Amino acid sequence: MRTVILIKPHAMDFLYVHSDLIKEIKDFRLEIIEDYEIYLDLATIRCVWPQCICNPICERIFIKHYLNKRARVFVVEGKNALLSTLTIKKHIRKKYEISYMENCIHTPIDENENNINLNVLKGLNVCELQERLTALHSGAYFNFGKNFDEQVFERCANSLWDIKKSEVGLEIYHLFKKQHKWMLLLFRDEKTNMDYTAEVLFKELKAQENDAVEAYTTAYKVAMNGFFPVFSSNHQDEILPIYKNLSKHLKVKLLTDQSTGVSK
């Protein structure tokens, strides 16, 4: 089986990423069939990272950091190549990622994505694939982030680009340490995109001084981490209306006892 590994533009000057990646490829007994550099155009970005199609903030971040930038592509072949490259990606990111977005390398997560990546990163059928992916994802498109002005976009883009796993984990720890009687956890839902999640948070928590950038940042933390606390209180009458409104649109859980983990 063949698959691809892409070194992202921000990591192109990190020679240790290149050398460690090649070593990992050999350790997994994969053969490098092709090794070449490309410049990422917008159509390629949308096909390799289709979340850009239904997430205007992600698209603008990728345009800002990846458009017309150099990337390195390895086409590798071997037994269980797709599964092996997912493990390699995990190893490289654990060692070298700077933030959720500055995570050094990309590999396909399944056979469908693999087929798309193999074609697109060779410059084959890019326009056709972009049209097909746009049609597939257009039903999930929302305009919340699209309507941000430049100042708000820059704040949001900078906030998302810099989010680190360790910092999110520490933030969650401190939020739980507050030991409020009531806490709302928002969970990742594959049926709900990040733009919509941010819009719901903005509308429902706006009274709590939650601005658009904070709403989008929270939605991104949920998407990357799997869950994130979005509100806590010692007063049931304060948190229950928020829980009721959020649960109409998003996957939320109301924790009613921090010490025992009993939840509603």
CB 247 within 8 A of CB 231: no
Q: For residue 94, is it within any domain? A: yes
Same domain, 22 and 131: yes
The pLDDT tens digits of the residues spanning 210-243 come to 588 899 999 999 988 899 999 888 988 999 999 9
d(CA 63, CA 40): 9
Which DSSP letter does residue 102 get?
A: -
Confidence of residue 11 (pLDDT cuts 50, 70, 90): very high
In this predicted structure, the answer to whether residue 207 has a pLDDT above a threshold of 80 is no
Confidence of residue 100 (pLDDT cuts 50, 70, 90): confident
Distance of alpha carbon 239 from its chain centroid, rounded? 28
Tokens at 195, concatenated: 């733009």
pLDDT of the residue at 94: 92
The range of the structural domain enclosing residue 179 comes to 165-263
The pLDDT tens digits of the residues spanning 24-76 come to 999 999 999 999 999 999 999 988 998 887 778 888 889 889 999 999 999 99
Same domain, 187 and 94: no
pLDDT of the residue at 259: 45
Same domain, 44 and 133: yes
CB 42 within 8 A of CB 67: yes
pLDDT of the residue at 210: 56
pLDDT of the residue at 34: 96
Instruction: State percent of the chain over pLDDT 90.
Output: 46
Among 3-17, 158-172, 236-250, whose mean pLDDT is lowest? 158-172
Q: For residue 208, is it within any domain? A: yes
Number of domains in the chain: 2
With CA atoms as reference, report the closest residue to 75 among 41, 121, 10: 121
- Supply the pTM of this predicted model: 0.79
Q: For residue 151, is it within any domain? A: no
In this predicted structure, the answer to whether residue 85 has a pLDDT above a threshold of 90 is yes
Same domain, 22 and 95: yes
Same domain, 21 and 136: yes
pLDDT of the residue at 76: 97
